[in-house]
């Protein structure tokens, strides 16, 4: 029987093969990621310190560096079943087009209305808020995927949701905004005049179109000053990587089912949640010395946190109200160039992935956005799926690696994370199709300006 017959295009798990626990990669790490610290006292933040901002159960997950597996509550598993298991797809058509001996697989997380992996953590965070008896949640959203996912989760559980949406996206992505409103969320452009920090930022930077860091500050302010509300974040945090481990656990189960061992695992990295989730069980094997996978993070050259950032304590937000996190960062003042359209524009990176990168377990590469859209287009035309620009960073490097295999004749097995679909990113595709997309790479001087403002500890 030919190999094509043995391995189906789409490997689906049966319902009873789906993971029922999340995997915590921190349990396998010999050196743990650095703790969040209080910006005033520089002391590590404990359970009580974080309670005004986050839900109790989520704080426990955030601070737990030792428990290897967490049971996924029944109600979350039931919700997951509406759109999971997600398929692991063998990219036969792309392989053929590239004429490569490499075997390419992608784990596709775009098969739900929110269009991305973010729903995996949104439902978990909303569930624990509901369990705690809270009325509602606040959050920020940039491009809108996280806000959309959280709106769906809050609608399902009957929670109120207030979203601060970066003003430029609020104006340029009216359809994203309407999806959130349809699911019952209230959406406010940020910086707004509804919060003290928003008023301050508007006064200091008249006409500003906002940033993620600024929207985070507003959402935290409203959560901490409103009875029965807490703040939730869609990436970066340890708890989000934990919830996203469902991606990696399913991928591993599907590969194991057919005896496939990947040589390389590739994912795009904004705040690090999809990559952290995809690699979670594989990274644990690598740390324990059982397997040796190449694990690669791909980031935009216009927002290169890993490849050009500093590993330092920094603010997670512009208003400097959040705890400090030790991470690879471009500085909380860094805002990517206005012509950057490919997403992944957060200034920092997950403390877990930052530690793994610093310890040499993880590689990182940066790619320019026109090459990302070329890869996206090639992928759409061969595999059929219109990929999110963020996901296309991983596609770009997977294609580059498969081309290298063609030169060397190596039959490597490459797995990458296809985090979502690009239907709300057609303005960016339009720019690319019209030949108007340009690449911008920040200069060392620009980065230095931002590094100079890092908090001094």
Ligand X SMILES: *Cc1c(COP(=O)(O)O)cnc(C)c1O
Q: Cβ 420 to ligand X, closest distance in Å?
A: 3
Residue 37 phi, psi dihedral angles, 5° rounding: -125, 155
Helix, strand, coil percentages for the chain (3-state, nearest 5): 45, 15, 40
Q: Cβ 172 to ligand X, closest distance in Å?
A: 16
The single residue among 269, 330, 385, 397 that binds ligand X, judged by CB under 6 A, is 269
Output the furthest CA–CA distance in the chain (Å, rounded).
70
The single residue among 120, 188, 273, 318 that binds ligand X, judged by CB under 6 A, is 273
Residue where the block lists tokens 């209080």: 38
**Contact characters 233-252, ligand X, x per CB under 6 A:** --x-----------------
Query: Smaller CB distance to ligand X: residue 317 or 390?
Result: 390
Contact flag: residue 419 with ligand X (CB under 6 A): yes
**Contact characters 101-130, ligand X, x per CB under 6 A:** ---------------x-x------------
Span interacting with ligand X, options 20-28, 44-52, 185-193, 267-275, rule CB under 6 A: 267-275
Give the separation between CA 272 and CA 306, rounded to whole angstroms. 10
Residue nearest to ligand X (CB): 420
The single residue among 139, 274, 369, 392 that binds ligand X, judged by CB under 6 A, is 274
Give the separation between CA 426 and CA 82, rounded to whole angstroms. 27
Contact flag: residue 309 with ligand X (CB under 6 A): no
Give the separation between CA 447 and CA 386, rounded to whole angstroms. 33
Tell me, rounded to whole angstroms, the distance of Cα 265 from its chain centroid. 16
Query: Smaller CB distance to ligand X: residue 100 or 148?
Result: 148
Query: Smaller CB distance to ligand X: residue 197 or 295?
Result: 295
Give the separation between CA 228 and CA 135, rounded to whole angstroms. 5
Q: Which helix (H) or strand (E) holds 149?
A: helix 145-157
DSSP 87: P
Give the separation between CA 110 and CA 388, rounded to whole angstroms. 9
Query: Smaller CB distance to ligand X: residue 274 or 369?
Result: 274
**Interface residues for ligand X in 351-390 (CB under 6 A)?**
388, 390
Contact flag: residue 391 with ligand X (CB under 6 A): yes
Here the contacts of 40-44 (C-beta below 8 Å, separation 24 or greater) are: 42/324, 42/457
Q: Cβ 239 to ligand X, closest distance in Å?
A: 12
For residue 8, is it left (φ>0), alpha (ψ between -120 and 50) or beta?
beta
Contact flag: residue 271 with ligand X (CB under 6 A): yes
The radius of gyration of the chain from alpha carbons, rounded to an integer in Å, stands at 21
Q: Cβ 173 to ligand X, closest distance in Å?
A: 13
The single residue among 36, 197, 232, 268 that binds ligand X, judged by CB under 6 A, is 268
Give the separation between CA 440 and CA 300, rounded to whole angstroms. 10
Q: Cβ 240 to ligand X, closest distance in Å?
A: 7
- The site that binds ligand X (CB under 6 A) totals a number of residues, namely 17
Q: Which positions touch ligand X (CB under 6 A)?
A: 116, 118, 145, 235, 268-274, 344, 388, 390-391, 419-420
């Amino acid at each position: 029987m030919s190999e094509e017959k043995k391995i189906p295009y789409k490997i689906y798990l049966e319902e009873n093969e789906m993971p029922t626990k999340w995997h915590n990669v921190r349990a396998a790490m010999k050196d743990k990621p650095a703790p969040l610290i209080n910006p005033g006292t520089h002391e590590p933040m404990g359970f009580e310190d974080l309670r005004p901002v986050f839900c109790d159960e989520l704080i426990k997950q955030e601070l737990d560096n030792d428990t290897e597996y967490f049971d996924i509550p029944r109600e979350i598993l039931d919700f997951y079943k509406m759109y999971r298991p997600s398929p692991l797809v063998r990219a036969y058509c792309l392989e053929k087009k590239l004429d490569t001996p490499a075997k390419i697989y992608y784990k596709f997380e775009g098969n739900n209305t929110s269009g991305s992996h973010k729903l995996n953590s949104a439902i978990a965070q909303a569930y624990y808020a509901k369990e705690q008896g809270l009325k509602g949640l606040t959050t920020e959203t940039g491009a809108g995927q996280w806000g959309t996912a959280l709106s769906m989760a809050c609608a399902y559980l009957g929670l109120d949701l207030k979203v601060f949406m970066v003003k430029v996206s609020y104006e340029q992505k009216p359809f994203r905004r309407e999806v959130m409103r349809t699911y019952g969320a209230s959406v406010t452009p940020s910086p707004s005049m509804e919060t003290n920090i928003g008023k301050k930022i508007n006064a200091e930077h008249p006409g500003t179109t906002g940033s993620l860091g600024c929207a985070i500050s507003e959402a935290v302010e409203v959560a901490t000053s409103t009875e029965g509300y807490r703040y939730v974040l869609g990436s970066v945090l340890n708890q989000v990587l934990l919830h996203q481990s469902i991606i990696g656990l399913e991928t591993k189960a599907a590969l194991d089912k057919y005896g496939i061992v990947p040589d390389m695992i590739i994912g795009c990295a904004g705040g690090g949640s999809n990559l952290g989730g995809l690699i979670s069980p594989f990274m644990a094997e690598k740390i324990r010395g059982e397997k040796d996978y190449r694990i690669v993070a791909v980031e935009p050259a216009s927002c290169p946190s890993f490849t050009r950032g500093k590993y330092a304590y920094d603010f997670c937000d512009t208003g400097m109200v959040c705890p400090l996190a030790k991470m690879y960062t471009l500085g909380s003042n860094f805002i990517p160039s206005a012509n950057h359209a490919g997403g992944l524009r957060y200034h920092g990176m997950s403390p877990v992935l930052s530690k793994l990168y610093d310890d040499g377990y993880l590689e990182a590469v940066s790619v320019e956005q026109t090459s990302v859209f070329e890869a996206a287009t090639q992928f759409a035309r061969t595999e059929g799926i219109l990929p999110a620009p963020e996901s296309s960073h991983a596609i770009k490097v997977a294609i580059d690696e498969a081309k290298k295999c063609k030169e060397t004749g190596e039959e490597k097995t490459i797995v990458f994370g296809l985090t979502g679909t690009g239907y709300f990113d057609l303005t960016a595709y339009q720019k690319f199709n019209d030949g108007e997309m340009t690449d911008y790479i920040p200069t060392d001087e620009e980065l230095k300006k931002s590094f100079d403002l890092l908090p001094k500890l």
